Amino acid sequence: MGWRANYRWIRSLSEQQYPSENMGKKKATMKEKEAMKKIRALPDVIEVYHAKRLTEAKTSKSRREIDLIVLKRDRIVLVEIKNYAGTISMVDGTLYQNGKSRGWSFATLSDARKRLVDIMRETGIHLGTGEIHTVLAMLGSGSVDESVNTGHHITQTAVARSFRELNDSLNIPISEEAEFKIEQINAIRTFFDMCGTWDELICANSVVVEGDFLENQTINSWREFYQQGRLHNTRGWLFTVLFGPNIEVELTSWNGETSLQSVDPNSAISLQVPGSHKNVISLQFDHISGFTFGYQRLPKWEEITLMQTLEDNSKSETAEKGKAGKVRGGEQKQKFRVGDVISDATVAFHHKDGVLFQLTAKQKGMYFLSKMQPLQAETREMFMRVGNPYAVRITNIKQRAKNTLIEVEILD
């Protein structure tokens, strides 16, 4: 470039349209990290995880993250933190702020609970007597109306209006038998360590944007070896006018080692923002100051085994019960037979005809209303929470064209 072009480049830095600072998101993240620090200091907490991603982010649904995940010796607690101001209410189970819907309900946490149980099961982690609880923590300055409650989610769920109440919610009394084994705790910790979080793009105006970097040759090679990069122009104002910018990136590896690389200032980096596959931010390298990768690689859970299933280690117990062979729920495809028992099928959906259970990663079974006791049918949404694991038995299998219809019943 000539000196005029170089001068225009310098002026373009101040004229560039950068994303604006999302102060609401920034304050919410600060509140989440503040709560994480306080919870981590509690004596009975093993670990606290922030903004963990369970699956690859390709659609708005798969992009859901969990604000905080608390691991204790007898339970996992999924915590959704809201930093709302003003008047907070709930209408038909949906949160409202100052009369405007925020589009959040406990169904979000129920969905996260189900995905967590299903993915863990794929890796061989069965929770056994341990439980998964959910908490909505209203930690902002807003006034929380009495209408904000757990609704029909009456077990393993709580609403906290302060950190003290959040602490209490982490200690809701549960069965004395509820406890993770050491092997389970180690596998669960490994599981969460393997989960990713958001990528971050730091614009030249210091605004941080979260999302997923779109793949290209440079990004793919950097993600494999480096966790973050910081960019700067090595030339001063005068030399930039005369010779053009020289953009250099200081890369920090996943092991903490640093190295320097020069990059083409005209090359661009693109970030897909959460919520819509069409919302993409693209900036040239000379208009960003840094980036951070939220994960080195997202695991293919179906290919990973973190522990042997408890059922595999208790064949004698299975024989004593006289059950048909138990099936590991995480396997991709099973040839089921009537009488087979799935020890950790999860509630997937409440259908007008009954309750749909996730039996494996690819197969579901229906517990029909007609096969339930009247009281069980009336209270199914209250007690059969989405994401809760149950032992079910295959009662009927029907082949229809390419589909297999499976009927199940819950074991007492």
pLDDT value for 311: 47
* CB-CB contact of 393 with 409 (8 Å): yes
Q: Sign of the C-alpha dihedral, residues 61, 67, 73, 75?
A: negative
pLDDT value for 208: 92
Mean per-residue pLDDT for 272-286?
79
pLDDT tens digits, 131-157 = 899 999 999 999 999 999 998 777 789
Domain boundaries, the chain: 3-18+198-292, 23-194, 308-410
CATH number of 308-410: 2.40.50.140
pLDDT tens digits, 337-371 = 899 988 888 888 888 889 999 888 778 899 999 99
pLDDT value for 91: 95
Look at residue 117 and tell me whether its pLDDT is greater than 60: yes
Query: Which fold does the domain 23-194 belong to in CATH?
Result: Trna Endonuclease; Chain: A, domain 1 (3.40.1350)
Mean per-residue pLDDT for 53-57?
65
Torsion of CA 364, 316, 303, 129, to 10 degrees: 70
Look at residue 7 and tell me whether its pLDDT is greater than 60: no
pLDDT tens digits, 280-317 = 889 988 889 999 999 988 888 888 899 875 444 444 34
pLDDT value for 286: 83
Residue 48 backbone dihedrals phi, psi, to 5 degrees? -130, 130
Mean per-residue pLDDT for 79-104?
95
Confidence of residue 11 (pLDDT cuts 50, 70, 90): low
Mean per-residue pLDDT for 198-208?
91
pLDDT value for 379: 86
Mean per-residue pLDDT for 277-281?
76
pLDDT value for 255: 93
Look at residue 244 and tell me whether its pLDDT is greater than 70: no
Mean per-residue pLDDT for 272-276?
73
* Intrachain domains 23-194 and 308-410 with the same fold: no
pTM summary value: 0.77
Residue 93 backbone dihedrals phi, psi, to 5 degrees? 85, 0
Confidence of residue 323 (pLDDT cuts 50, 70, 90): very low
Residue with more model confidence, 61 or 52: 52
pLDDT value for 55: 64
Please provide the DSSP assignment of 228-252 as one string.
EEEEEE-S-HHHHHHH---EEEEEE
